[in-house]
Structure 1
Amino acid sequence: MAVMRRGSNVALTREIPGLTGIVFGINWDAGSESLLSDNLVVAAILCDAAGKAVSDEHFVFFNQLSSPDLSVTQLEEALGDDEEQIEVNFAAVPAEISRIAVVLYINEGTARRRALGQLKQCGIRVLNLADNSELVRSENLAQALSAETGISLGEVYRHNGGWKFKVVGGGYTKGIEGIAADYGVTL
């Protein structure tokens, strides 16, 4: 298991020939801040070559658990130490999808005066869809957060006929509004 820093990437399908898909595992520790933990939302955004959501139906979260093509699915119950998990079946991802971003944001966060900087730990890991073995994980992304109410955790993207994973770790002070603006999602 490799721990990856912000901005680093790995060629998943080159390193693991025959990899058919992955599971994003998202985890956090809000300590005693149960109000914060209870209002965290994980989403996956299926994007075109310009980095924009193909459509609003390509925003996968608790109210829309899978993409229209069923290539990306948020599991109703996460396994292991993850708070949330999202499965990606590489063969089912349509050709027009260039990247799949995973974000975390506070639902109704600004009204409740909560911020991601209150988290003790926040990270993303990548597991092999076939056997749930951990391939890589991010460093603790919470350490660089303060007033942000949203964060782009990581993304998997097409590269030279294969798939790569990148730890992003970029925060948003406008939470879901900032994320939606960057990715072209209608709220």
Structure 2
Amino acid sequence: MTRGANVALTREIPGLTRLVVGVAWDAGSERVLDDNLVLALLLCGPDRTVLSGEHVVFFNQLTSPEESVVARDDALGGDQEQVEVDLARVPPEVARLVAVLYVNEGTTQRRTLGQLRSVSVVVRDGVDHRELVRSEDLAPVLQAETALVLGEVYRHGGDWKFKVVGEGYATGVSGVAADFGVPL
């Protein structure tokens, strides 16, 4: 799927109740970059801001408060990192789940997402892990960005849809935090 494209997940697959949102990347020989990439899922309300600091799932906070979103220990199917989503348990005040990839700013050596050979967001069925959606390679347009909004799973009427976003941030995770109201 290309940037901006969306798909009606639960309308197209009526029995879909669980998702796995993952990211696949190729950092080539850039081991420091490879070791410092982080996937985060932001649980946002209708105003596109996170509900609270507890509604950000990543390596330092492995579950959302109600456990509808959980970071996986081991990624499957060629993804480097994954987050599981139980759609039925997502609180009604959550309008969208925003997937973000960022370079952990704790590194002493400056790395950017522009050094990636490839990067794509993948949505899988949470039961059998078969691939449902894969974005186009988002890496070719990246340069100095250190954070990237990959895509979002969002409510549309009574259904869940997925949209590829591909929006980069040269200001890193702090730029994402400012746009989505994440307390740092």
Q: Same fold (TM over 0.5)?
A: yes
Q: Aligned partners of 2:40, 2:163: CA distance in 1, in Å? A: 16
Is contact 2:36-2:107 (8 Å) kept?
no
User: Is 1:36 the equivalent of 2:61?
Assistant: no
Give how far 1:111 is off: 4.9
User: Is 1:112 the equivalent of 2:109?
Assistant: yes
Give how far 1:113 is off: 1.9
Spell out, residue by residue over 1:1-58, the C-alpha distance to the aligned partner (whole angstroms, 9 max, x if none): xxx0000000001100111021012110000000111111110000000000000000
Q: Could you list the structure 1 runs, at least 4 aligned residues long, displaced by more than 3 angstroms after superposition.
A: none
Partner of residue 45 from structure 1, selected from 42, 47, 57:
42
Q: Aligned partners of 1:80, 1:164: CA distance in 2, in Å? A: 22
Residue type of the alignment partner of 2:19: I
Aligned residues: CA RMSD? 1.1
Match of 2:165 in 1: 168
1:132-147 correspondence runs (5 A): 132-147=129-144
Q: Aligned partners of 1:51, 1:111: CA distance in 2, in Å? A: 32
Is contact 2:20-2:85 (8 Å) kept?
yes
SS at match of 1:117: helix
Gaps of 5+ in 1: none
Partner of residue 154 from structure 1, selected from 151, 156, 160:
151
Q: Aligned partners of 2:162, 2:138: CA distance in 1, in Å? A: 16
Partner of residue 3 from structure 2, selected from 1, 6, 10:
6
Spell out, residue by residue over 1:125-176, the C-alpha distance to the aligned partner (whole angstroms, 9 max, x if none): 1111121111110000011100000000010000010100000000000111
Partner of residue 19 from structure 1, selected from 4, 16, 29:
16
Q: Aligned partners of 1:80, 1:8: CA distance in 2, in Å? A: 23
Q: Aligned partners of 2:106, 2:60: CA distance in 1, in Å? A: 18
Give how far 1:182 is off: 0.7
How many equivalent residue pairs? 184
1:72-87 correspondence runs (5 A): 72-87=69-84
1:121-140 correspondence runs (5 A): 121-140=118-137
SS at match of 1:57: helix
User: Is 1:102 the equivalent of 2:99?
Assistant: yes
Percent identity for Structure 1 against Structure 2: 59
Gaps of 5+ in 2: none
Give how far 1:109 is off: 6.9
Give how far 1:79 is off: 1.5
Match of 1:57 in 2: 54
Residue type of the alignment partner of 1:64: Q
Residue type of the alignment partner of 1:81: G
Match of 2:174 in 1: 177
Q: Aligned partners of 2:109, 2:149: CA distance in 1, in Å? A: 21
